[in-house]
Structure 1
Amino acid sequence: MTNSKVGHRIEELTTPAFLLDLVKVKSNCQGMLETCKAMGVSLRAQTKTHKTVEGAVLQTGGSRKGIVTSTIDECEFYADHGFDDILYGYPLIAHHMPRISALTRRLEKFHVMVDSKLAVETLIASQPPTGKTWSVFLKVDCGNNRAGVWWEDEESIILAHQLGSYSSLITFRGLYVHCGNSYYAKTDVEVEKVRDENIERLLNFVDRVKERGVTCETIGIGSTPSCKKPSDNMKKLDELHPGNYVFLDVQQSTLGSCIVDEIACRVATRIIGHYPKRNQMLIDCGFTGLTKQGEGMLVTGYGIIRDNPNLKICNMTQEIGYIEPLKGKLDFEKYPVGSLLFIFPWHSCATAAMHSVYYVIEEDKVVAEWKPTRGW
Structure 2
Amino acid sequence: MIDVVKPTLLLNKEKCLNNLNRINKLAELNNINFRPHFKTHQSLEVGRWFKKFGVKSITVSSVSMAKYFSDEWDDILIAFPLNILELEEIKFLQDKIKLSILIDSYETLKFLDINLKHKINVYLKVDVGYNRAGIRHDNIESINKIINFSESSGIINFMGFISHFGNTYNSKSKDEIK
Q: Is the shorter-chain TM-score for this pair beyond 0.5, marking a shared fold?
A: yes
Q: Are 1:137 and 2:127 an aligned pair?
A: no
Q: 1:213-228 to 2 correspondence within 5 Å?
A: none
Given candidates 159, 162, 166, the residue that maps to 2:152 is 166
Output the amino acid matched with 1:71: S
Secondary structure of residue in 1 paired with 2:121: strand
Q: Are 1:111 and 2:100 an aligned pair?
A: yes
Q: Unaligned regions of 5+ residues in structure 2, if any?
A: none
For 1:47 and 1:68, how far apart are their aligned partners in 2?
6
Q: Are 1:14 and 2:7 an aligned pair?
A: no
Equivalent residues of 1:69, 1:86 under 8 A apart: yes
CA RMSD of the aligned region, Å?
2.1
What residue in structure 2 maps to residue 93 of structure 1? 83
The structure whose residues are more often helix, as a share, is 2
Given candidates 67, 75, 87, the residue that maps to 1:76 is 67
Query: CA, structure 1 residues 61+141, in 2 after alignment: closer, same or farther (shift >3 Å)?
Result: farther
For 2:9 and 2:57, how far apart are their aligned partners in 1?
27
Q: Are 1:125 and 2:111 an aligned pair?
A: no
Given candidates 50, 57, 74, the residue that maps to 1:59 is 50
Query: CA, structure 1 residues 52+44, in 2 after alignment: closer, same or farther (shift >3 Å)?
Result: same
Count the aligned residue pairs.
Answer: 176
The structure whose residues are more often strand, as a share, is 1
Q: Unaligned regions of 5+ residues in structure 1, if any?
A: 1-10, 193-376
Query: Percent identity over the alignment?
Result: 27
Given candidates 183, 189, 195, the residue that maps to 2:169 is 183
Equivalent residues of 2:9, 2:41 under 8 A apart: no
Equivalent residues of 1:127, 1:169 under 8 A apart: yes
Query: CA, structure 1 residues 153+101, in 2 after alignment: closer, same or farther (shift >3 Å)?
Result: same
Output the amino acid matched with 1:83: W
For 2:113 and 2:76, how far apart are their aligned partners in 1?
21
Q: 1:281-300 to 2 correspondence within 5 Å?
A: none
Query: CA, structure 1 residues 63+167, in 2 after alignment: closer, same or farther (shift >3 Å)?
Result: farther
Residues 281-323 of structure 1 show CA distances to partners (whole Å, capped at 9, x for unaligned) of xxxxxxxxxxxxxxxxxxxxxxxxxxxxxxxxxxxxxxxxxxx
What residue in structure 2 maps to residue 329 of structure 1? none
Equivalent residues of 2:119, 2:157 under 8 A apart: yes
Q: 1:257-296 to 2 correspondence within 5 Å?
A: none
Structure number with higher relative contact order (C-alpha < 8 Å, ≥ 6 residues apart) = 1
Output the amino acid matched with 1:43: F
Give the TM-score normalised by the residue count of structure 1. 0.43
Flag the structure with larger Rg: 1
What residue in structure 2 maps to residue 307 of structure 1? none
